[in-house]
């Protein structure tokens, strides 16, 4: 990867941040949840007791576990779905209280996972002493639930609203409510998990459905399903009005501020060969990933440590090697059980430290200092939002040490665009019509000159983005990482994307088929289908009218399940993803019979 002149020295000395994007969650809705459940003792400790509670919202969230009558002054693990989220020691009376918060203050455990629907267990030396489901099938009697979520508005009216609420009182009475306002009048079908469960008539732009269970003499529709965590769709004719999930958006648990940082880990001496870098990303869905990569080093095993604690080995069998962590690990990723921010990262071999530095994303470049003459020209990478548009950047240092930075746009819609560097708005680019077509530019400089904006930052090695007035990103490019293909395509960075939902069941079809389309910041894409409750057998997966794979559904512990995954770099048992998914109809078929189908939304 091309490196601007003198950048090596800055990276080695200051561990300069080379990529950052930060933005608020895309939707700050009035979702909320208040939940309370009990933990049940196992045969390992029949006297133990415990309870769990949580409050979840888009601005802050809390998950709390309290235990009593455990062994005094003893160490236990708190697991959620078999992943250790905390280790604690009981008091001399055998009690303990563990709290997870988002946002977390210094010394507090961060709520960076979603316990809802999961099995929570208190474990000592591998043996569970207390267990309980935190909201879902199998939860304790006497539980209390009050959870509300807003669905995504797909209508032409920006004021249209649809909310879903699930409540359960301590006597076991359950209610599921769907409330719609400012929506077009007419008959709507309500689908939960892809299955039609009722019809709603919207009159004078309003509609409401109530399902109820556990109450004698109820006049509501019978609640024969559990909507928690399921996709919910309202469809009028062939038009989708609203879609979403019956799970409240919760800061820290399933929604967060988007961020991405890539920093060099500096070598400990000039004799160290190769390069090391660490990357931290947070998606708006609160998926956190951390990776460490080594390049151009000798073959072998390298130990990676965080604050002196060993976290894993980086195996080098070719030009590079990588170690990955995630709070939702799958595949080869390890569990992210540490906070990398402001931590000291070290890479060593045979007890000799080769690279070491503090992972500090707050280190932002200030006004560039004079340096040797140089010039950097790169085409910016298009996100594909406006295929015909192009953009390029130039960074140069003249023979007097003055710095200049220029960004140009062409063939985009006339208007005003935002230039962001490291996630910060630095200037506006006004695109106007010229004899050569739509054009616009902005220029910065460390020397005061007419028409130039004062250059008080160094964009080299940072993420440069151009966004329209709707905050949609047209170009996203790490300056200094190499020029994109002519015309802006084929670049080096992508806007992460995650689209999830359920396929719609045909009349008479049983079960559920959920889908997940994911595109990461490196441009990698995957599409997964997961089936549950279908009749055992083999099904064709038809995408865009072409059979792309086979879904095998098998019985496992009296439940039928199956999945198929497509990936642009497939591993074993995965199918190559070399075709379009977004905007295409996906159908699950046997012969000519369609059991589930849906057009996958574009966003």
Rg (CA), the chain: 27
Handedness of CA 136, 113, 164, 172 (dihedral sign): positive
Residue 14 — φ and ψ, nearest 5°?
A: -110, 0
Report pLDDT for 494.
54
Q: Of 473 and 485, which is predicted with more confidence?
A: 473
Question: How far is the CA of 439 from the CAs of 406, 414, 431, in angstroms?
Answer: 14, 8, 5
Check residue 363 and give its pLDDT.
63
DSSP structural state of residue 483 = P
252: pLDDT confidence band, cut at 50, 70 and 90?
confident
The closest of 270, 364, 374, 369 to 5, measured between CA atoms, is: 374
Task: Judge whether residue 593 has pLDDT over 80.
Answer: yes
Q: Express each pLDDT in 408-449 by its tens digit.
A: 999 999 999 999 987 789 999 999 999 999 999 999 999 888
β pairing state of 437-445 and 453-454 = parallel
CA distance 4 to 260: 21
Residue 41 has pLDDT above 80, yes or no: yes
| pTM beyond 0.85, yes or no | no
Kindly report, residue by residue over 146-177, the tens digit of the pLDDT.
999 999 999 989 999 999 999 999 999 999 99
CA distance 196 to 536: 22
Which pLDDT score is estimated for 54?
97
| Residues in Cβ contact with 593 at an 8 Å cutoff, skipping those fewer than 6 apart | none
Residue 79 and residue 86 in contact, taking contact as beta carbons nearer than 8 Å: no
User: Does 331 have pLDDT greater than 80?
Assistant: no
Average pLDDT over residues 317-337: 88
The predicted structure's pLDDT at residue 481: 72
Nearest to 226 by CA among 248, 180, 193: 193
* pLDDT over 90 at 43, yes or no: yes
State how far Cα 45 lies from the chain centre.
38
Provide the pLDDT for residue 421: 87
What are the tens digits of pLDDT across the range 490-505?
Answer: 444 455 678 889 999 9
H or E element in which residue 25 lies: none
Residue 299 pLDDT > 70: yes
> Three-state DSSP class for 121?
strand
Average pLDDT score over the chain = 88
Q: Omega into 595 within 30° of 0, i.e. cis?
A: no
Among candidates 128, 48, 133, which has minimal Cα distance to 84? 128
> Contact 358/15 with Cβ under 8 angstroms?
yes
Once rounded to an integer, what is the mean pLDDT over residues 240-250? 94
pLDDT at residue 473 greater than cutoff 80 = yes
* Secondary structure in 3-state letters for 291-311: EEEEECCCCEEEEEEECCEEE
- The first and second tokens of residue 438, run together, are 């739509």
- Compute the average pLDDT of residues 276-291: 86
Decide if pLDDT at 228 tops 90: yes
Please give the C-alpha separations between residue 42 and each of 39, 49, 124, 325, in angstroms, as whole numbers: 10, 10, 12, 32
Instruction: Find the mean pLDDT for residues 550-567.
Output: 92
Residue range 5-12: mean pLDDT, rounded:
32
Q: Domains in the chain, start-ordered, CATH in brackets?
A: 17-24+257-358 (2.60.40), 32-134 (2.60.40), 144-245 (2.60.40), 374-478 (2.60.40), 497-599 (2.60.40)
Assess whether pLDDT exceeds 50 at residue 489: no
* Cβ pair 325, 336 in contact under 8 A: yes
- Please give the Cα distance from 209 to 142 (Å, whole number): 26
Map tokens 């080769």 to a residue.
Answer: 354
CB atoms under 10 Å from CB of 334, counted, come to 13
- 168 to each of 118, 325, 464, 480, how far by Cα in Å? 18, 37, 48, 55
Is the alpha carbon torsion for 305, 306, 309, 311 positive or negative? Answer: negative
C-beta atoms surrounding 535 within 10 Å: 13
Q: ∠515-521-522 over CA atoms, to 5°?
A: 105
Higher pLDDT, 549 or 478: 549
Residue 92 above 50 pLDDT?
A: yes
Question: What is the reported pLDDT for 280?
Answer: 84
Round to whole Å and give the CA distance between 18 and 481.
10
Residue 521 has pLDDT above 80, yes or no: no
Per-residue confidence (pLDDT) for residue 195, from 0 to 100:
94
Give the pLDDT of residue 128.
97
Q: Does the structure show a pLDDT above 80 at 213?
A: yes
Are 376 and 396 within 8 A, CB to CB? yes
Percent of the chain having pLDDT more than 70? 91
Phi, psi of 585 (to 5 degrees): -80, 130
CA angle 63, 66, 71 (to 5 degrees): 140
DSSP 584: S
pLDDT score recorded for residue 357: 93
Which residues neighbour 31 within 8 Å (Cβ) at sequence distance 6 or greater? 56, 57, 58, 148, 149, 150, 248, 249, 250
Is 258 a residue whose pLDDT tops 70?
no
Query: Residue 10: enclosing H or E segment and its boundaries?
Result: helix 7-14
Instruction: Find residue 54's DSSP bridge partners.
Output: 35, 63
């Amino acid at each position: 990867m091309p490196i601007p002149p003198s950048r090596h020295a800055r990276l080695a000395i200051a561990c300069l941040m080379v990529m950052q994007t930060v933005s608020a969650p895309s939707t700050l809705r009035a979702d909320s949840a208040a939940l309370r459940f009990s933990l049940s003792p196992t045969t390992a400790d029949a006297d133990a007791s415990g309870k769990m509670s949580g409050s979840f919202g888009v601005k802050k969230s809390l998950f709390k576990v309290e235990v009593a009558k455990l062994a005094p002054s003893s160490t236990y693990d708190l697991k959620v779905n078999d992943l250790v989220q905390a280790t604690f020691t009981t008091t001399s009376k055998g009690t303990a209280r563990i709290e997870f918060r988002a946002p977390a203050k210094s010394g507090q455990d961060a709520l960076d996972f979603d316990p809802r629907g999961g099995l929570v267990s208190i474990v000592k030396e591998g043996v569970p002493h207390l267990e309980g489901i935190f909201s879902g099938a199998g939860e304790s009697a006497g539980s209390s639930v009050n959870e509300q979520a807003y669905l995504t508005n797909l209508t032409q009216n920006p004021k249209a609203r649809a909310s879903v609420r699930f409540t359960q009182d301590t006597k076991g009475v359950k209610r599921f409510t769907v409330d719609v306002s400012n929506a077009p009048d007419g008959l709507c079908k309500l689908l939960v998990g892809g299955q039609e469960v009722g019809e709603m008539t919207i009159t004078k732009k309003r509609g409401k459905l109530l399902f109820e269970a556990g109450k004698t003499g109820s006049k509501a529709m019978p609640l024969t399903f559990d909507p928690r965590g399921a996709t919910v769709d309202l469809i009028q004719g062939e038009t989708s009005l609203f879609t979403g999930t019956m799970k409240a958006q919760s800061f820290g648990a399933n929604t967060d501020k988007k961020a991405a940082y890539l920093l060099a880990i500096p070598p400990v001496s000039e004799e160290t060969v190769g390069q090391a870098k660490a990357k931290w990303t947070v998606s708006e869905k609160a998926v956190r990933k951390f990776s460490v990569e080594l390049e151009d080093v000798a073959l072998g095993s390298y130990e990676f440590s965080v604050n002196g604690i060993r976290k894993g080995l980086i195996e080098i069998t070719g030009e590079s090697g990588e170690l990955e962590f995630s709070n939702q690990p799958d595949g080869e990723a390890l569990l992210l059980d540490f906070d990398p921010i402001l931590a000291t990262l070290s890479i060593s071999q045979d007890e000799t430290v080769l690279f070491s530095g503090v992972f500090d994303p707050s280190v932002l470049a200030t006004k560039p200092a004079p340096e040797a003459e140089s010039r950097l020209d790169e085409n910016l990478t298009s996100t594909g939002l406006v295929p015909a548009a192009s953009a390029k950047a130039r960074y140069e240092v003249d023979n007097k040490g003055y710095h200049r930075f220029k960004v140009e746009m062409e063939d985009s819609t006339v208007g005003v665009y935002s230039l962001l560097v490291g996630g910060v708005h630095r200037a506006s680019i006004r695109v106007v019509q010229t004899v050569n077509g739509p054009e616009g530019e902005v220029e910065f400089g460390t020397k005061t000159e007419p028409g130039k904006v004062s250059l008080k930052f160094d964009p080299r090695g940072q993420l440069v983005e151009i966004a329209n007035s709707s905050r949609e990103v047209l170009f996203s490019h790490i300056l200094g990482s190499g020029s994109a293909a002519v015309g802006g395509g084929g670049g080096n960075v992508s806007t992460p994307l995650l689209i999830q939902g359920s396929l719609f069941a045909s009349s008479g079809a049983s079960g559920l088929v959920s889908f997940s389309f994911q595109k990461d910041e490196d441009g990698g894409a995957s599409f997964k289908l997961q089936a549950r409750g279908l009749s055992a057998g083999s099904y064709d997966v038809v995408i865009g009218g072409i059979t792309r794979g086979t879904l095998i559904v098998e019985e496992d512990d009296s439940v039928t399940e199956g999945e198929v995954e497509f990936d642009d770099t497939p591993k074993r048992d995965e199918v190559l993803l070399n075709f379009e998914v977004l905007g295409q109809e996906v159908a699950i078929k046997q012969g000519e019979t369609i059991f589930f189908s849906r057009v996958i939304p574009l966003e």
